[in-house]
Amino acid sequence: MIQTENLTKVYQMGEDEVRALNGVSFQIDKGEMVAIMGPSGSGKSTLMAIIGCLDVPTSGSYSLDGVSVERMHDSQLADIRGRKIGFVFQQFNLLARTSALENVMLPLTYAGSSGKERHERALKALELVGLADRVHHTPSELSGGQQQRVAIARALVNEPAILLADEPTGALDSKTGVEILDLFQNLHRQQGQTVIIVTHDSYIARHTNRILKLSDGHIVSDEINHHPIAPGTPRTEEVI
Amino acid sequence: MLLSENFKIALRALRANKLRSILTMLGIVIGVATVVALLSIGKGATASITSSIQNSGSNLLTISPGRAQFGPAGEGASRQQSHLYYADYELLQKTLTDKVTAIVPSYQSSYVVKSGDQSINVGVTGVTQDYQNVRAYQVADGRFITDGDNKAQSMVAVLGSQTATDLFGSLSPVGKTIAINGIKFDVVGVLVSKGSTGFASADDAIFIPLDTGYDKLYGSNANFNGKKTINNIIVSVKTTDLMNTVSAEIQYLLRRSHNLAATDQLDFNVLNQTDLLNTLSSVTRTLTIFLGAIAGISLLVGGIGIMNIMLVSVTERTREIGLRKAVGATRNQILVQFLIETVTLSLLGGIIGILLGVGIATIFSATGLITSVVTANSILLAFIFALLIGVFFGLYPAFRAANLHPMEALRYE
């Protein structure tokens, strides 16, 4: 599904070169649920941007779903983002004064599907995240957890190859955060959805089956998590 | 993605900031309204000047005394000494017979005119019978001055409509007597009102037989070196093609009779109505363009206002743009979305501005101060100009939005 080879990303900050990624190679298969973990400045956001086709690597290769994307143009990347990637952000990033349904339909609008198809698929996606009764509410009428569910429905509506979540619980209280993690786990188990969660929080990372740790632009560990935290388990300090 | 969806997105974005959208639009509204109103008023002025000149006949040549003056005003002393003579009229009458329909001399001077206890100061014009046709005067009551009146030096007068009202109120003046400079005249006719032609009003005038005037009224005023003088001669040319020929002929004849050398300046003017029309039209056209350009500048300022607000809007909506890009919007789709927002603003502003401009022009017309003519052209011009401004000033903010880096846009705080 995802194959990267020796990815580097260099930013020019004034006169200094900042190496955000320094030779990152890994592979994620279809149906995996993976956490990319690291403290701030480790390069995880940069890696997320490249995996999400929001940015291109300075060097190295990246193939997504069998397509080599590292040298693609803006419009090609936009197309890949629209078809293969579903983003979930920390701040939800829903359009204000716009109903849940219309927010979820947004990716389909850019993909150019017909009005009727859009409507049906958006309803289905909202049903999947448990918001069938909130389709006409606007973000300001929804709780934080509900807003994030709308954002997840929006990410799922195009049936993307990967669901890419950037600190998806960062703006939520811990109880709601756990519910959102539940939703990811269910999507992974029941729909076979490939899920990548980018986080600095090891508790959240341990909800996944595999944890990639990033530090100073390198992968420092890549471990299978044989006992992911079960859905509904509250956060406790003694969980290892 | 369909254009209609882009319009929906644009309208939603504009509605989200209603007050701001309205204020931004106001610049365009005012600009377009000014353009439409000024062009209409300019057009109306041109039309009314043109029609007033055409009403007085476009095949007329008017000969009047005086040099065309180019030098400083002080050098124009000779102007007073130049005269047209009754003899000039007789010469033209004798020579130009085949190319003209009428040659009409007139002499005008102001006098105190009394009827009962009413007393006014009014221009008394000595004319011949043809004057009526040449000036296209219509008689409301009674008759105009005839050749017979001139021959008999009858003491008769025809009143302009305003003068008739001034002297007699609502009573019919025909058959009554008036005193011009103390001399009694019988009123034989009243003219139909012509309205002001922008020059001397024909409604505020008294007409008498020219020969009667020389003999009884004008006295030594109408006399120079023993020759009878006249104020002007109107020549009605048979066809407009002959205007230039006749004009040249008149100049030749009068130059000779006035004993002017070939190098001397003419001491009279031959005014062609068509020339006058063209000159005035070009003046009003220049004025209209000038006014339109000033209004155009306000439209330009409105456009800059739109650009300003759109730049703010792009900055405010950086995250939204990042999100749209993240869910698959291409650079071009973002570009079109923002461009349509500015175009919607300017088009709405344009439409409201056109309505307002037409309203202003109509109100001006209704007050009777200025005639205004709203033409489809001026509306189209203003509309297209507003649209172009929307596109032109929308392009830069739209490019800014489209060129945002998706990752940086998403992280924007």
Number of domains in chain B: 2
pLDDT at B20 over 50: yes
Are residues B233 and B194 located together in one domain of the fold?
A: yes
A85: amino acid identity, one letter: I
Confidence band, pLDDT 50/70/90 cuts, at residue B78: very low
Q: Where are the alpha helices (DSSP H) in chain A?
A: 44-51, 74-84, 100-111, 115-128, 144-156, 174-191, 202-205
DSSP-derived letter for residue A39 is -
A186/chain B closest Cα distance in angstroms: 23
Are residues B107 and B34 located together in one domain of the fold?
A: no
| Residue B176 lies in domain | 83-266
Q: Which residues of B touch A74 (CB under 8 A)?
A: 330-331
Tell me the sheet residues that pair with B105. Answer: B233
No. of helices (H) and no. of strands (E), chain B: 14, 13
Are residues B108 and B200 located together in one domain of the fold?
A: yes
User: A106–B327: do the CB atoms touch at under 8 Å?
Assistant: yes
The answer to whether A121 faces chain B, any CB pair under 8 Å, is: no
Residue B66 domain-assigned? no
User: A89–B410: do the CB atoms touch at under 8 Å?
Assistant: yes
Dihedral angle, C-alpha A43, A84, A179, A235, nearest 10 °:
-30
Structure-block tokens of residue B144: 């105009």
Q: Is A232 helix (H, G, I), strand (E, B) or coil?
A: coil
> Could you give the CA distance from residue B4 to residue B387 in angstroms, rounded to a whole number?
18
Please say which residue of B215, B231, B266 terminates a domain.
Answer: B266
Are residues B404 and B375 located together in one domain of the fold?
A: yes
Out of B5, B331, B407, closest to residue A54 by CB: B407
Which of the four CATH numbers 3.40.50.300, 3.30.420.40, 3.40.50.720, 3.40.50.880 does domain A2-224 have? Answer: 3.40.50.300
Q: What is the pLDDT of residues A78-105, one digit of tens each?
A: 999 999 999 999 999 999 889 999 999 9
pLDDT at A238 over 60: no
Q: Which residues contact A128 (CB under 8 A, 6 or more apart)?
A: A153, A156, A187, A191
Q: What is the pLDDT of residues A143-195, one digit of tens each?
A: 999 999 999 999 999 999 999 999 999 999 988 999 999 999 999 999 999 99
Are residues B330 and B195 located together in one domain of the fold?
A: no
Mutate to test the interface with B, among A21, A54, A118 (most CBs of B within 10 A): A54
User: B330–A110: do the CB atoms touch at under 8 Å?
Assistant: yes
> Alpha-carbon torsion B349, B355, B358, B359, what sign?
negative
Which DSSP string do the residues of A81-136 spell out, in sequence order? Answer: HHHHEEEE-TT--PPTTS-HHHHHHHHHHHHT--HHHHHHHHHHHHHHTT-GGGTT
Q: What is the pLDDT of residues A10-59, one digit of tens each?
A: 988 888 888 999 999 999 999 999 999 999 889 999 999 999 999 999 99
Q: What is the pLDDT of residues B205-224, one digit of tens each?
A: 999 999 999 999 988 888 88
Are residues B205 and B336 located together in one domain of the fold?
A: no
Domain layout of chain A by residue ranges: 2-224
Whether residue A52 contacts residue A89, with contact meaning beta carbons closer than 8 Å, is answered with no
> Could you give the CA distance from residue A145 to residue A180 in angstroms, rounded to a whole number?
7
Percent of chain B scored above 90 by pLDDT? 42
pLDDT at A234 over 80: no
Are residues B236 and B308 located together in one domain of the fold?
A: no
Whether residue B345 contacts residue B14, with contact meaning beta carbons closer than 8 Å, is answered with yes
Are residues B210 and B294 located together in one domain of the fold?
A: no
Q: In terms of CA atoms, which chain B residue is nearest residue A158?
A: B327
Q: Single out the residue of B114, B50, B79, B107 nearest to residue B280, CA to CA.
A: B50
> For residue B77, what pLDDT is reported?
45
Q: Which residues of B touch A87 (CB under 8 A)?
A: 326-327
Q: In terms of CA atoms, which chain A residue is nearest residue B2?
A: A112
Please say which residue of B266, B288, B317 terminates a domain.
Answer: B266
> For residue A166, what pLDDT is reported?
94
Structure-block tokens of residue B156: 């008769």
Q: What is the pLDDT of residues B253-272, one digit of tens each?
A: 888 888 887 777 888 888 88
User: B406–A54: do the CB atoms touch at under 8 Å?
Assistant: yes
Are residues B260 and B319 located together in one domain of the fold?
A: no
Are residues B312 and B360 located together in one domain of the fold?
A: yes
Whether residue B130 contacts residue B102, with contact meaning beta carbons closer than 8 Å, is answered with yes
> Could you give the CA distance from residue B321 to residue B337 in angstroms, rounded to a whole number?
10
Please say which residue of B239, B266, B293 terminates a domain.
Answer: B266
A51/chain B closest Cα distance in angstroms: 12
Are residues B316 and B219 located together in one domain of the fold?
A: no
Are residues B184 and B291 located together in one domain of the fold?
A: no
Q: What is the pTM of this model?
A: 0.73
**Strands of A67-68's sheet, edge to edge?**
A16-28, A2-13, A59-64, A67-68
Residue B58 domain-assigned? no
Whether residue B151 contacts residue B164, with contact meaning beta carbons closer than 8 Å, is answered with no
User: A96–B16: do the CB atoms touch at under 8 Å?
Assistant: yes
